[in-house]
Structure 1
Amino acid sequence: MKWKIVFLLLTVILGCSKSDVMNQKSPKIVIAHRGASGYLPEHTLETKAMAHAMNVDFIEQDLVLSKDDIPIVIHDIYLDDVTNVSQIFPNKKRNDGRFYVIDFTFEELKTLNVFERFDPKTGKQVYPNRFPRGKGSFRLHSLQEEIELIQGLNKSTNKNIGIYPEIKAPEFHQKEGKKLSEIVLKILSDYGYKTPKDRCILQCFDSKELERIRKELHTELFLVQLIEFPEETKKLDYFATFADGIGPWYRQILDKKVDEKWTFTPLVSDAHKLGLKVHPYTFKADQLGEFSTFNELLEILLIKANVDGVFTDFPDLVVNFLNEKK
């Protein structure tokens, strides 16, 4: 009987059902950055399925519009560093020599092969020890296709893994006469993502656009303001007027070493005082910088700096780390 009383107390205190309590994961979330991109080409359906199997909390989708207004899951507005577009459509590059997603219809984009990221000038793979470039058969896909994959896997595996879409280059899209944010919000709503409880976090680097999404487009979704430049770390009061969290580069949280121990900037504590969650990017086991091991990096940021979650190319390693910390 004692365990039943404890269970009932947990249910009341946490405000959740039996299945919620029994399936409750670490309070720190794992975000699969472009999927399980340390193992398979980024933003392919295959890498998203792999990330789902790794029991992450959220899977990321970077979004760019096609010529016919389909949100495509791809990291950049360009195609030439992850596809064979220069071979298939050599005459469709712009004057700057780049190939833009927005100049292709969805059907044209579906004909391209997707590769591990490479330098289009040299042809060299950015991360040489990841999935070999040119091997396998991978394609671009739409936001709708990815949502249906994740929701389908949630159904068949009895999981509740969320999505973490990013509005990419909103100013570029606006100059091209495209309404990326409006189109994305409509699709998210159609698939049941409307409130902070719906396992969808929407992110953007452009603070004006994220503010517009909250105040003019009236979304209730959980919003995260991504931070790139050092001066943006001083704008937390402003971000807190429309966002629920921030996504800084993890180096913006680290200060310096004193007696061989890392000290931290006030970014995390200042954000927490304003009620903002902190989800730094990007944790890569094959790009450790000043850290000797991946677990050391995770220990410093997730535990000692007390961030609320991380973007990572190696989600299984972070899931395992957090499980060991329980």
Structure 2
Amino acid sequence: MRVARLFSVFLITSASLSMSVQAFEIIAHRGASGYLPEHTLEAMALAHAQGPDYIEQDLVLTRDSQLVVLHDIHLETVTDVEQKFPERAREDGRYYALDFSLAELKTLHVRERQNADGTPVFSNRYAGNGHFTIATFEEQLTTIAELNRLTGRNIGYYPEIKSPAWHRAEGYDISSLVLATLRKYELDSPTAPIYLQCFDFAEVKRLRNELGAKVKMVQLIADDEWGESPTDYGALKTPQGMQEAAKYVQGIGPWLGHVTQTSNPTSFELADWVKTAQAEGLHIHPYTFRLDALPPGITAEQLLQLITGKWQFDGVFTDQVPPVKAFIERSTD
């Protein structure tokens, strides 16, 4: 999920500052990724201790059809795969999780996300020498369930099916395997504490119509230039697109940079397609609030006031749960 310029100027009225915060869902983005390497069991456990409403798991497949928790189908951005398996890159120079068995992936060391030149994507995040490894989906599901049992909490799950069309082109039906796992743990239900998300609208429809998914679902919204899926996001980001999406999902996950009127980006007025999504009763869970990557010209407090007050969104993905939770608690006192 990307962070880029959202606003250059921040103007907010006293009326919007006084808006009360409604029920609001905090999603721990890739676990406690602002504090520990993303998607590791340790980041998941820390996120649980921070008390969000949901913890996210991005899902990709291994060569032996095991679901693992990784944001990308590639490995080199967050692991030492290039040092452990230098000969296993494809012709494009990338290392794919699908080319490795689970046992092989478990030998890799997970670290903070890096750019292609080896520099950290976020310069002031975890820089220690802890040993972190790739987690399976079932490891995260069962550990969250146990932590819920031990603490009396009911923190939910927020898995994402990554690149389903690419997986199918490689001969793997990741969506069927995800649903099989959810059914094993009695999570394919509209009342279960879980949202299932995907960028691929065709796959969302397939999950409902062909695979019979009952779980609450969220349609993620990207930009056509990002190459996230074959979906035509230009068509989806219209009032008509939102009306169509509402036939299949309970919510949408837009990028924060897309939610305002493009004709006047400093007005902070929601785009018509977002207003339509709200009118259709869809939950709005935008991505991603990051303390260390705020849009220029806006403070964390101001951005959270927009999200919870002026725009009346239903939740947010965040790398840093504590400041968001503290803001919500102050707003509801």
Fold-level similarity (TM above 0.5): yes
Q: Is 1:81 the counterpart of 2:81 in the alignment?
A: no
Aligned to 1:106: 102
Aligned to 1:305: 311
Q: CA deviation at 1:291?
A: 4.0
Which AA in structure 2 matches 1:74?
Answer: L
Contact residue 26 and residue 322 of structure 1 kept, 8 A: no
User: 1:257 & 1:218 partners in 2: Cα distance?
Assistant: 40
Aligned to 1:222: 216
The structure having more radius of gyration, on CA atoms, is 1
Q: Deviations over 1:181-238 (max 9, x none)?
A: 0111111111120212110100000000011001111111001000002612111111
Matches within 5 A, 1:71-220: 71-119=67-115, 121-132=116-127, 135-220=129-214
Aligned to 2:16: none
Identify which of 31, 37, 43 aligns with 1:41: 37
Q: Where does structure 1 lack aligned partners over 5 or more consecutive residues?
A: 1-24
Secondary structure in 2 aligned to 1:34? coil
User: 2:190 & 2:91 partners in 1: Cα distance?
Assistant: 42
User: 1:256 & 1:103 partners in 2: Cα distance?
Assistant: 41
Q: TM-score, normalised by structure 1?
A: 0.89
User: 2:297 & 2:58 partners in 1: Cα distance?
Assistant: 28
Q: Is 1:61 the counterpart of 2:57 in the alignment?
A: yes
Q: Deviations over 1:106-153 (max 9, x none)?
A: 00000000000002x311011010111x62110001000000110010
> Which region of structure 1 is more displaced relative to structure 2, 197-206 or 265-274?
265-274
Higher relative contact order structure (alpha carbons within 8 Å, sequence separation ≥ 6): 2
Contact residue 82 and residue 116 of structure 1 kept, 8 A: yes
Which AA in structure 1 matches 2:120?
Answer: Q
> Which region of structure 1 is more displaced relative to structure 2, 87-96 or 295-304?
295-304
Secondary structure in 2 aligned to 1:263? coil
Contact residue 243 and residue 276 of structure 2 kept, 8 A: no
| Poorly superposed stretches of 4+, deviation over 4 Å | none
Change in CA separation of 1:293 and 1:98 when aligned onto 2, cut-off 3 Å: same
Q: CA deviation at 1:256?
A: 7.0
Q: CA deviation at 1:282?
A: 0.7
Q: CA deviation at 1:273?
A: 1.3
Q: Where does structure 2 lack aligned partners over 5 or more consecutive residues?
A: 1-20, 224-232
